[in-house]
Structure 1
Amino acid sequence: MPEQRTSHAVLAVSGLVTSFRIGGRWKPIVDGVSFEIGPRETVAVVGESGSGKSVTALSIMRLNTPGLSRVEGSIRLEGRELLPLSDAEMRRIRGNEIAMIFQEPMTSLNPVLSIGFQIAEALILHRGLSRAEAEAETIRLLEKVRIPAAKSRFHEYPHRFSGGMRQRVMIAMALACKPKLLIADEPTTALDVTIQAQILELIKELQKEEGMSVLFITHDMGVVAEIAERTVVMYNGKAIETGLTGDIFKNPTQPYTRSLLSAVPKLGSMKGCARPMRFPVFDRATGESDAPAEMLATVKATERAVLEVGGLTKRFEIRSGLLSSVKGWVHALENVSFNIKSGETLALVGESGCGKSTTGRTVMRLIEPSSGSVLLDGVDMLKLSHGELREQRKRMQMIFQDPFASLNPRMKIDTAIAEPLVVNGIANRSDARDRVADLLLRVGLSPDMANRFPHEFSGGQRQRICIARALALEPRLIVADEAVSALDVSVKAQVVNLMLELQARMGLSYLFISHDMAVVERVSHRVAVMYLGEIVEIGPREAIFQNPQHPYTKRLLAAVPIADPARRLQKRPVLNDEIKSPIRSADYVPPVRRYREVSPGHAVMIWENGVGKQD
């Protein structure tokens, strides 16, 4: 959809067509996209995976694979046409005039070079600074993106930084040459909600200071409302709707835009609902949805706990050498206790590094705990031999965050799902085929998909396959570790609905590990909030969301982006500090924590001086 603009544009894209060579033929992936970005303006390009958002950004940067891609149309930077430029001319523009931040900073940073060296190298190459001048400028840039103790961290390597701090390093690198345009491709998708809020505020502040224009690519409409003056909605390679963000949110003209907006989970939408509620499912052709309904359990839940975790503690030792003594401990888990009843979902929430995933893996005994107990239907999993543990593991399964990494790329789906049945002696290869067909139907896939390989499925379909594999042994408990975090909003809704339906039908219990508070509010019966390896607040879902008590819980809820463009200019109170380190000295003795009961089943850790400080 062409866009009429009268102001002088920093970037003007007109009739952009990007085609890839597939099977000897050119297939258009981006088809006729047009938009403009004015000075100091932020434009969001929004859509689901496969809509052509990232290909549009790569086309502007001319980073698509040569020989296998073809870009047509017009891309003008301050009136200068970019498509006819030579590779050498384009290299001078990249970094100098247009900079890009990618979704995953760890794949963009060289792991064997210090972060200071990598930023300084760009300054030496593009701005001709000496090594000493480049190092001084790098420290200034690191301070500008709010990295604490920037001078001392200059020589540290990427693995020593958290995800949010690595993304700040990427922003510093992008700003090094003072570009006119910053392209941010899903820069907050993989980040925790509090870190996401920090990065969004940082980009807005730096834009004001540097006078940049920003092209922000995302599938999260809440993020769009937070950051963009104007929005381009993409679907199937086309820009189907373009306009002011406020107008699009208030009066979307396209059914697909309406479905995107309606699928955004909103905090507080579950007020008054006793049980988890499925997400509405939208028809992209009409934008209409079915009415969401509470999941009424068809399998009677019992008061007996399926899982009882008591005093779970895990500490990783730190040594300076292989034969040296212990210098310190990483206190990954400290005296964690909770239970999960039959047919119940307990959500475990918190930032990266708080101990959520360690809890899930320790419950499964993929990590051996330092102390504590894990009882599955009264059987202590930590006292079992390997043979006994294998037998009990049939009753508890795990779904991991990345379904592609969880599936063998060389193994067809029928073999992957049948493997647990064959290994545990429940069925032979022939009988397992019938079970696989039934499991695929149960998760909403067709049995004729069984002969495909993982790469032939979408992200949502691969996660369904992982759920089918987890169900193969008919477990009592499923540990879902960030199982929907990386999925688009509509695919996320489908997978969550599937998990709720299976729970209602089979009486499954879930330990649902997530940092997405809006999804947690939909799916959980109870919520436990973790910080630095400890549970700081636990209680019924409604109590945690409607009456949070601990400062950290309030901080998590306040950081959730709200899909309301009217709030864009409001500055949110965002803390820019990193989550504290769980590393302690070898002689450190953890304090005894005390809890108070706010209401039945709702307990909160008593914190120091009422300001939420913890050791």
Structure 2
Amino acid sequence: MTGIQAQSIATAEPVLSVQNLTTSFLVDGAWKPVVRNVSFDVAPGETVAIVGESGSGKSVTSLSIMRLLQADSSRIEGRIMLGGRDLLALPEAQMRKVRGNDVAMIFQEPMTSLNPLFTIGDQISEALLCHRSMSKAEARAETVRLLEKVRIPSAASRFDEYPHRFSGGMRQRVMIAMALASRPKLLIADEPTTALDVTIQGQILDLIKMLQEEEGTSVLFITHDMGVVAEIADRTVVMYRGEQVETGATADIFHRGKHPYTRALLSAVPVLGSMQGYERPLRFPVVNTATGESDIPVETANTVAAAARPVLEVKNLTKRFDIHSGMFGKLTGRVHAVENVSFDLHAGETLSLVGESGCGKSTTGRAIMRLIDAQSGSVIADGKDVLALDKAGMREMRKTVQMIFQDPFASLNPRIRVGDAIAEPYLEHRMGTAKQAKERVADLLVKVGLTPDMALRFPHEFSGGQRQRICIARALALEPKVIVADESVSALDVSIKAQVINLMLDLQQNLNLAFLFISHDMAVVERVSHRVAVMYLGEIVEIGPRAAVFGNPQHAYTRKLMAAVPVPDPDRRREKRVVANDEIRSPIRPIDYSIKPLNYREVSPGHLVAV
């Protein structure tokens, strides 16, 4: 932002002025405040970020501004001024005219915001027909213009397509087009990039900034990602447990943050390139949110015995999914999800599989676990060919290889106490008595940073980070040698993510565990990995030691992934990143398609790149 722009923002009448906002919910017959005395302004053309962990009150703040909370169980106090009007004093009929017209909102998950029964074009046109005097033909033409504006290719031909035909990034673009349809004064973006791959996130952030420059729209950006805050925000509001603990220019917050919680958030942000000089994975610093003091991060002490036989050997693993269509279900094509993937994993080592959604990394993990059956290849776990094992052999193999899934709540039975969930595999494999299982559960809960008495609670009584710790404890119950961690920290807040990663590194050091770490977060991958494998369209296009891959990336796709990572430095906010405005190509191929195995050249010892 130029000095003239900053000065005009400072002196202009705010588009939005929130004063002493307090939001309470009715709980057991009493009003419980969850957001207390929050105040901030958003000037014309300005981007203000509200940042904090889950439960800090940031989304409740945005929903309060839009008055989207249930009226009979919520109470909003204070003043919310928009264009000289107090939104809290408006009748509901007038408030409906404000929503989508003066203020628009982009939600975190576009698929839950889009109606699957209506076409994309009809849903955007509806906003135009409701708020602007237009004929259907004019609304269609304007919708196509908006779709082109948000960089959706072949916009006119995609007007009549349904949401399920769009990728996650494209659906989020549709939501932005819908929000901009009536040219609102204020755009509220509630975690709009959290569920997206790093390259798609970069495209969406660039798109919001470009549209803001063209339209002069003010943006209220809700996020827990400090890297995104540095990328997009002029000013930042830090929230903690429902209260506003610090407000100021983004650069001041990053360089001179005063509140201990602000410093804790910033210290937990992985910075791409910060691992230079470190050979082994590096723990995140642990910060006391009360004092702001942190410990000194140290490298893990484990050493990988590369000369020993790998604990996991994957050779030419291939998985394809058949596509049937037509009345008689004729085979019309195949999804080439995994093609000739090969790698080794040693005890005490972390190998990270990275790439965008659809590249085949999760399918690789599931094929290794035999949760899906591979077409060909071999998976040798602790000397046994997993793909050739019978039912009894597979049962025994589960002791060697365990998996941690992305969503801990979905992988825990809500009706079973967590102690029983952790004990179940121990008892099923007859590794001890019920009394021994109880002792084992208590020991595992302590190992993952919880207390033994928590064994009696149900999953819904825990936070997201605690639930992921429970899933880690359950995976450790059988004393495995290999753990497949499939996006195991991607859904967690930045500080909780740091805690869980530290836990995984400590367990690896103490138990000599091997991790196959599946992720799309390049900054986290750099922090935790010994080696890295980059996947694109089902194939590994680059693999090697972490320092070699990050210090000297050779494949164009690897460089694209790294270029898209948000830089947590507000001084570089106005720099234009070179991020290709496309998405990963489709892995669907004709029935008779024959794929050629990749050839690799060795850049340095152990560092291979596809040619």
TM-score computed with the length of structure 2 as normaliser: 0.97
1:339 lines up with 2:344 in the alignment: yes
User: In 1, are the aligned partners of 2:382 and 2:400 still within 8 Å (CA)?
Assistant: no
Q: Distance between the aligned counterparts of 2:267 and 2:500, measured in 1?
A: 17
Moved over 4 A (4+): 298-302
Which of the numbers 362, 370, 390 marks the counterpart of 1:365? 370
Q: Secondary structure at the match of 1:450?
A: helix
Q: Kindly provide the CA deviation profile for residues 12-71 of structure 1, in whole angstroms up to 9, marking residues without a partner as x.
A: 000000011122211111110000001111001111111111010000000112211110
State the distance in 2 between where 1:567 and 1:471 align: 42
One-letter amino acid matched to 2:441 = V
Alpha carbons 1:299, 1:506 under 8 Å: kept: no
2:590 corresponds to which of 585, 589, 597: 585
**Structure 1 match to 2:12:** 7
Residue aligning to 1:534? 539
Q: 1:298 to 1:574 in 2, by over 3 A?
A: closer
1:401 shift after superposition = 0.6
Q: How far apart, in 2, do the equivalents of 1:9 and 1:328 lie?
A: 56
Matches within 5 A, 1:297-376: 297=302, 303-321=308-326, 323-376=328-381
Q: Is contact 1:301-1:343 (8 Å) kept?
A: no
Distance (whole Å) between structure 2 residues aligned to residue 299 and residue 190 of structure 1: 33
- Look up the match of 2:71: 66
CA separation of 1:394 and 1:322: change in aligned 2, threshold 3 A = farther
Aligned with 2:154 (options 129, 149, 153): 149
Query: For the Cα contact (< 8 Å) 1:142–1:169, is it kept in 2?
Result: yes
In the alignment, is the contact (CA less than 8 A) between 1:302 and 1:341 conserved in 2? no
> Does residue 521 in structure 1 map to residue 526 in structure 2?
yes
- Alignment deviations for residues 584-605 of structure 1 (CA, whole Å, 9 cap, x no partner): 1111111232110000100000
Contact 1:231 1:244 in 2 (8 A): yes
**Distance between the aligned counterparts of 2:160 and 2:319, measured in 1?**
31
| Residue equivalent to 1:389 | 394
Residue 180 in structure 1 maps to residue 185 in structure 2 = yes
1:559/1:288 CA distance change after superposition, 3 Å? same
Find 1:421's aligned residue among 426, 430, 444.
426
1:75/1:81 contact within 8 Å kept: yes
Match of 1:496 in 2: 501
CA offset at residue 196 of structure 1?
Answer: 0.7
Distance 2:329 2:269 in 1: 52
Q: CA deviation at 1:149?
A: 1.2
Counterpart Cα distance in 2 of 1:5 and 1:331 = 54
In the other structure, the counterpart of 1:207 is 212
Give the aligned partner of residue 612 of structure 1.
Answer: none
Q: Equivalent of 2:553, from 533, 548, 571?
A: 548
TM alignment of 1:269-280, pairs within 5 A:
269-280=274-285
Which piece of structure 1 moves more, 427-436 or 410-419? 427-436
Amino acid across the alignment from 1:112: L
Within 2, Cα distance between the matches of 1:239 and 1:55? Answer: 13
Contact 1:298 1:505 in 2 (8 A): no
Equivalent residue, structure 2, for 1:559: 564
Over 3 Å counting, the alpha-carbon distance change for 1:226 and 1:452 in structure 2 is: same
> Which residue is 1:477 aligned to?
482
Quote the Cα distance in structure 1 between the aligned partners of 2:267 and 2:319.
42
Partner SS state of residue 305, structure 1: coil
Pick from 242, 256, 260 the counterpart of residue 255 of structure 1: 260
**Which amino acid in structure 2 is aligned with residue 316 of structure 1?**
F
Say which of 370, 374, 383 aligns to 1:378.
383
**One-letter amino acid of the counterpart of residue 381, structure 2:** L
Q: Which residue number in structure 1 is paired with residue 91 of structure 2? A: 86
Deviations 1:456-515 (A, max 9, x none): 111100000000000001111100000000111110011000001100111110000001
Shift of 1:302: 6.2
Question: What is the number of residues matched between the two proteins?
Answer: 603
What's the counterpart of residue 5 of structure 2? none
Question: SS state of the match for residue 59, structure 1?
Answer: helix
The answer to whether the 8 A contact 2:405-2:487 is kept is: yes
Structure 1 residue aligned with 2:4: none
Question: Structure 1: how far apart are the matches of 2:603 and 2:132?
Answer: 59
User: Structure 2: how far apart are the matches of 1:252 and 1:492?
Assistant: 21
Q: Matched residues in 1 for 2:60 and 2:289: separation?
A: 22
- Are residue 401 (structure 1) and residue 406 (structure 2) matched? yes
- Per the normalisation by structure 1, the TM-score is 0.96
**Following the alignment from structure 1 to structure 2, what is the Cα–Cα distance between the partners of residues 206 and 66?**
33
Paired amino acid for 2:246 = E
Q: Is the 8 A contact 1:102 1:187 kept in 2?
A: yes
* Partners of 1:370 and 1:161 in 2: CA distance: 28
Q: Distance in 2 between matches of 1:422 and 1:128?
A: 67
**Runs (5+) with no aligned partner, structure 1:** 607-615
1:216 — aligned with what?
221
- SS of aligned partner of 1:136: helix
Aligned twin of 1:23: 28
Aligned residue in 1 for 2:603:
598
What residue identity is the alignment partner of 1:179? P
Q: Tell me if structure 1 keeps the 8 A contact 2:104–2:184.
A: yes
User: Aligned residue for 1:75?
Assistant: 80
**2:107 maps to which residue?**
102
Could you say which residue in structure 2 is the equivalent of 1:289?
294
Letter in 1 for 2:212: Q
Aligned-residue offset at 1:299: 9.3
Q: Which moved more, 1:108-117 or 1:554-563?
A: 108-117
Q: Deviations over 1:212-255 (max 9, x none)?
A: 10000111111111111111111111111111111221211212
**Cα gap change, 1:301 to 1:592, in 2 (>3 Å):** closer
Q: Partner of 1:403: helix, strand, or coil?
A: coil
Contact 1:301 1:507 survives alignment (8 Å): no
Report the CA distance shift for 1:66/1:584 in structure 2 as closer, same or farther (over 3 A).
same
Letter of the 2:221 counterpart = F
Match of residue 39 from structure 1: 44
How many angstroms apart in 1 are the aligned matches of 2:308 and 2:280? Answer: 16
Separation in 1 of the partners of 2:278 and 2:414? Answer: 41
Q: Secondary structure at the match of 2:491?
A: coil
Distance in 2 between the 1:599 and 1:485 partners?
31
